[in-house]
Amino acid sequence: MSLSERRQAEFRLGKYRKLIANGQLDYSGTDPELIDDRIAELKKHINSKISDSRLQFELGSSNDNFIDQQKTGKVIESILPEAFAIVSKVVGECFGWDVFESQLLAAAAMQRGRVIELDTGEGKTLVAVFVAFLRYLAGQKVHVLTFNDYLAERDALWMKPLYDRLGMQSAFIIQSTEKDQREKAYAADVLYITAKEAGFDFLRGFLAGRPEDLVQQGFGCAIVDEADSILIDEARIPLVLAEAESGPGVMEPAVFALVKRMRAGIHFIHDRRGQQVLLTESGQIWLENCLGISNLYESENTSYLFQVRNMLQALHVLRRDIDYIVRDNKVELVDEFTGRIIKDRQWPDGLHEAVELKESITARAGGRILNRITLRDFLGLYPFLCGMTGTAVSSAREFRLFYDLGVTRIPPHIPCVRVDQSDIIFSTLKQKDEALVEEIRSRHEIGQPILIGTASVEESERLAEKVKARGLNCSVLNARHDKVEAEIIAGAGKVGAITISTNMAGRGVDIVLENKHGPGLLVIGTNRHRSIRIDRQLRGRAGRQGDPGESVFYLSLEDDLIERYRIREVLPPQFANSNVNGPILDKRVHLAMTHTQRVVEGQLFQQRQNLLRYAVLLEEQRRIIYKLHHDILTGIKKLNIWQEAGLPEGIDEDSADMQQAQQHAGAIVLSRCWADYLEFVDQLLDHVSLIKNGPTDSLTVFNRQIIDAYTHLLDEFEEQHIKLLEMLEVKDGKIDLAAVGIGSPPSTRSYLIDDGSDALDKILGISDMVAAAANPGFFLLTLTQRWNRGERQD
């Protein structure tokens, strides 16, 4: 490229960068004509490059020319048009596709480290390739972080011909991938892997005692698919690595038998809104008499209190076929956002064991926790982070606060013509179901495909029975049938198809219409979710790429969200009365529904904010400890601990064998000390949750304590390391580390701690302000005031 051409390209790209940088693309108020002009300008330049005779040479030169430009300090954006031209040409060669303008705009925004909102069907999978290629040219390893194993494998194999043609090595990792294959996959230029699987490999790396035990090779660029689900909804979920061995469960069947005899309203109160069960004074006295103890809250009786709390929660809060299912003699949790079974996730603090006892499954205690990290803190390790999803703008504040990521809304390449109907609300669940089934029947008669999104396994199966009772065939996709997910969703667009599914978030499969000239896909939601964004994801399944479509929610005043927040108590009698027939049309009832979601979203936002406050200092300590571990493991930091240790006879302190032994032992001892430290932090969090209303701020107490404990950790590391070196033995002329318990990394199991219980809320310490806002009395007062304002306006 000549200097003149380069300057022209920089001029064109400069205007394009300015468009993104000045925020004109962030929200729905974007001027479509302005965007179209810039897209057309960029694509014209790209097309000119595709026809450039020199492009074929560049394709065949392993991109050395571009990589050299990076080495000479050229900004990556200066080669964006050429790089996009190459990818666009390869897409045409491999798949025969035309690249949409919306895809180019999305890739350019992501290249600048943003989260883009791009509608379903606009081709986000291909957008990731453009960004990956640019980052590859910058010399970075690229991880495409997906929501589940299915998407990681599917997208990697689907895009492999493009990567091969671009001269890039691509790979994928799923849960069953063996260690040697993981090492090869991490060496690839671009790797498709779930966020949690990458996180678990990071945790395992800290248990390594030798460089060859590591599989992960540092962090470069992370492209996050389904960014709102991974970066927001699952931000506070801890990934946990624990010892594989476990002992007998701590839940006593005799205590469980007592708890089953307890009665609501007498021995305990069920706080449905807070999803908690609280002991009454009568319940406390009854338990103390039955257990033969004087005070349930004495320190020596904490085991009983721990068991009773979890057993009540398991019996009266967690619901089979809604919160979990039982399959293959195991309790498996259901993700409320996606309706999927979440592999290897369990409730914390003994609650999982209590549910196993409830379901007559042999409960066993989990092994000692060796390491853990939240997804938010893990993703913060990537120097470059960007994301893509169909619903991002409504969470722009959270993306900015938690990840310092801006959000850009990308207009679809074909306008969406989907019709979003107003909610249809009934007084009772029975009325809702009857009207819903009749609507399904009438739409099926004209051949319209229908997708019904339900809130739980139980609801999906109940509705399916009602539909079948009317002589209609339907497919059911829920946690029991997750293995045939792709097959069911792929058929949901056929003429007359009826598909009943639990939540559709993160399904990752487009529904293709068989008849694009008909009325299109009808999406019906049967419940409002905790987040309006999840409702938008369900609606977004209809009307892909300009297809016709329609969406509507069928709701009742007996739905879970309405019952939990006691909305009936503020409704006029004519609406609260279950004898009211037909849909409720009063706009104030609809306002109550929307306001409820806003309150819940505010609570969730506050919880994530509190997690961030408690994590700041702890994560800084983690970074220091991890760097120390890495430097010891790789020999960057030379340990001379042996000078303070009385080494046994026969060990040469200056030998390479001794240096390796110090490194190996040091790395292992440090990981053990860190596990002890995390155990202390857990105990401390339980303690500070009890003093959050005291004279000292609980966060201040927490930070002071972990600073002291961190100093002790470093002292303990040195002391334990010296003790271990003093115990070394020589066998067959070599230092025998196995004799002192230093060998290969221990056998572990990985799991996620579910955040759907009150345990994490207690630990995170929701602020008084949010606690007040979440209080039913406060909520009802606010809603009543809005209701009265609505009456005055009428």
What secondary structure does DSSP assign to 719-760, as a single string? HHHHHHHHT--EETTEE-SGGGT--SPPPEEEEEE---SHHH
CA-based max dimension of the chain: 94
Residues 346 and 484 placed together within one structural domain of the fold:
no
Establish if 790 belongs to a structural domain: no
Check residue 509 and give its pLDDT: 61
* Residue numbers of the domain that contains 343: 253-366
Residues 230 and 281 placed together within one structural domain of the fold:
no
Q: Given the structure tokens 């689900």, which residue do they identify?
A: 229
Check residue 364 and give its pLDDT: 61
Query: Is residue 145's pLDDT more than 90?
Result: yes
Q: Distance between CA atoms of 351 and 365, rounded to whole angstroms?
A: 11
Check residue 621 and give its pLDDT: 94
Establish if 789 belongs to a structural domain: no
pLDDT tens readout for residues 244-285? 655 555 778 889 999 999 999 899 988 765 567 888 999 999
* Range of weakest confidence among 543-557, 602-616, 689-703: 689-703
Task: Find the CATH number of the domain harbouring 282.
Answer: 3.90.1440.10
Burial of 165 (C-beta count, 10 Å sphere; 0-12/13-18/19+): middle
The closest alpha carbon to 155, from 177, 128, 137, belongs to 128
* Range of weakest confidence among 282-286, 400-404, 451-455, 749-753: 749-753
Check residue 633 and give its pLDDT: 85
Establish if 477 belongs to a structural domain: yes
Task: Find the CATH number of the domain harbouring 182.
Answer: 3.40.50.300
The closest alpha carbon to 443, from 554, 542, 524, 540, belongs to 524
pLDDT tens readout for residues 558-610? 888 888 777 777 776 766 666 677 898 888 888 888 888 888 888 888 878 88
Q: Distance between CA atoms of 121 and 510, rounded to whole angstroms?
A: 6
Residues 63 and 192 placed together within one structural domain of the fold:
yes
Check residue 764 and give its pLDDT: 39
The confidence band for 329, taking pLDDT boundaries of 50, 70 and 90, is: confident
Establish if 777 belongs to a structural domain: no
Residues 443 and 569 placed together within one structural domain of the fold:
yes
Tokens representing residue 89 in the block: 């040409």
The rounded mean pLDDT for the chain is 79
Q: What is the mean pLDDT of residues 1-16?
A: 40
Check residue 495 and give its pLDDT: 96
Check residue 649 and give its pLDDT: 64
Check residue 628 and give its pLDDT: 92
Residues 332 and 467 placed together within one structural domain of the fold:
no
User: What is the percent of the chain where pLDDT is above 90?
Assistant: 35
Three-state secondary structure readout of 307-338: HHHHHHHHHHCCCECCCEEEECCEEEEECCCC
Residues 572 and 515 placed together within one structural domain of the fold:
yes
Tell how far CA 457 is from the center of its chain. Answer: 21
The closest alpha carbon to 247, from 350, 355, 358, belongs to 350
Q: How many CB atoms lie within 10 A of CB 97?
A: 13
The closest alpha carbon to 652, from 733, 586, 574, belongs to 733
Check residue 511 and give its pLDDT: 83
Burial 372-410 (b: 16+ CB within 10 A, else e): bbbbbbbbbbbebbbbbbbbbbbbbebbeebbebbbbbb
Q: Given the structure tokens 């480290």, which residue do they identify?
A: 113
More confident residue, 241 or 230: 230
* Model pTM score: 0.78
* Range of weakest confidence among 76-80, 420-424, 621-625, 731-735: 731-735
Q: Given the structure tokens 């960068």, which residue do they identify?
A: 17
Query: Is residue 478's pLDDT more than 50?
Result: yes
Check residue 598 and give its pLDDT: 85
| Among 552, 585, 618, residue at a domain's last position | 585
Q: What is the mean pLDDT of residues 404-413?
A: 92
Check residue 751 and give its pLDDT: 64
Assign residue 344 a region (left: φ > 0; alpha: ψ between -120 and 50; beta: otherwise): left
∠ Cα 226 79 381 (to 5°): 40
Q: Given the structure tokens 């005043």, which residue do they identify?
A: 557
Establish if 686 belongs to a structural domain: yes
Q: Does an H or E element contain 521, and which? A: strand 521-525
The confidence band for 770, taking pLDDT boundaries of 50, 70 and 90, is: very low
φ, ψ (nearest 5 deg) of residue 743? -145, -140
- Helical residues (DSSP H) of 367-492, grouped into ranges: 375-379, 396-403, 429-445, 457-469, 485-490
φ, ψ (nearest 5 deg) of residue 243? -60, 140
Burial 252-275 (b: 16+ CB within 10 A, else e): eeebbebbeebeeeebbeeebebb
Residues 455 and 322 placed together within one structural domain of the fold:
no
Q: Write down the number of H helices and E strands in the chain.
A: 29, 24
| The residue type at 350 | G
Q: Distance between CA atoms of 251 and 306, rounded to whole angstroms?
A: 9
The closest alpha carbon to 500, from 514, 480, 515, belongs to 480
Check residue 109 and give its pLDDT: 92
Tokens representing residue 762 in the block: 């207690």
Q: What is each CA distance from 515 to 97, 495, 520, 782, in whole angstroms?
A: 22, 7, 8, 47
DSSP string, 543-590: SGGG--EEEEEEEETTSHHHHHTTGGGGS-HHHH-TT--S-B--HHHH
Q: What is the mean pLDDT of residues 144-173?
A: 94
Check residue 289 and give its pLDDT: 92
Tally the domains of the chain: 4
The closest alpha carbon to 348, from 604, 685, 617, belongs to 685
The closest alpha carbon to 673, from 722, 734, 613, 636, belongs to 722
pLDDT tens readout for residues 44-53? 666 665 554 3
Query: Is residue 298's pLDDT more than 70?
Result: yes
Q: Does an H or E element contain 426, and which? A: strand 424-426
Residues 26 and 162 placed together within one structural domain of the fold:
yes
Q: What is each CA distance from 415 to 84, 345, 521, in whole angstroms?
A: 24, 40, 16
Q: What is the mean pLDDT of residues 187-207?
A: 94
Query: Is residue 450's pLDDT more than 80?
Result: yes
Establish if 245 belongs to a structural domain: no
Q: Which residues pair with 749 in a beta bridge?
A: 242
Q: Answer for the pair 330, 740: CB distance below 8 angstroms, yes or no.
A: no
Q: Distance between CA atoms of 194 and 151, rounded to whole angstroms?
A: 8
Check residue 554 and give its pLDDT: 97
Q: What is each CA distance from 388 to 104, 228, 407, 412, 782, in whole angstroms?
A: 13, 8, 9, 14, 36
Q: Answer for the pair 502, 467: CB distance below 8 angstroms, yes or no.
A: no
Q: What is each CA distance from 271 to 279, 317, 775, in whole angstroms?
A: 11, 9, 11
Q: Does an H or E element contain 386, and which? A: strand 384-389
Residues 119 and 261 placed together within one structural domain of the fold:
no
The closest alpha carbon to 320, from 291, 356, 292, belongs to 356
More confident residue, 29 or 54: 54
Check residue 23 and give its pLDDT: 40
pLDDT tens readout for residues 605-622? 887 888 788 888 999 999
Tokens representing residue 704 in the block: 């002071």
Check residue 552 and give its pLDDT: 97
Residues 532 and 383 placed together within one structural domain of the fold:
no
Q: What is each CA distance from 302 to 218, 295, 306, 308, 566, in whole angstroms?
A: 43, 10, 6, 10, 34
Check residue 36 and give its pLDDT: 45
Residues near 486 by beta carbon (within 8 Å), at least 6 away in sequence: 150, 509
The closest alpha carbon to 340, from 489, 542, 158, belongs to 489
Establish if 453 belongs to a structural domain: yes
Burial 325-356 (b: 16+ CB within 10 A, else e): bbeeeebbbbbbbbbbbbeebbbbbbbbbbbb
Q: How many CB atoms lie within 10 A of CB 678?
A: 17
Residues 214 and 296 placed together within one structural domain of the fold:
no
Residues 171 and 57 placed together within one structural domain of the fold:
yes
pLDDT tens readout for residues 348-390? 767 888 999 899 887 665 667 888 898 999 999 999 999 999 9
| Among 554, 585, 616, residue at a domain's last position | 585
Check residue 380 and give its pLDDT: 92
Tokens representing residue 526 in the block: 């049967």
Q: What is the mean pLDDT of residues 338-350?
A: 69
Query: Is residue 781's pLDDT more than 60?
Result: no
- Helical residues (DSSP H) of 166-252, grouped into ranges: 179-186, 195-205, 227
Establish if 138 belongs to a structural domain: yes
Q: What is the mean pLDDT of residues 473-486?
A: 75
* Range of weakest confidence among 124-133, 278-287, 436-445, 716-725: 716-725
Check residue 191 and give its pLDDT: 98
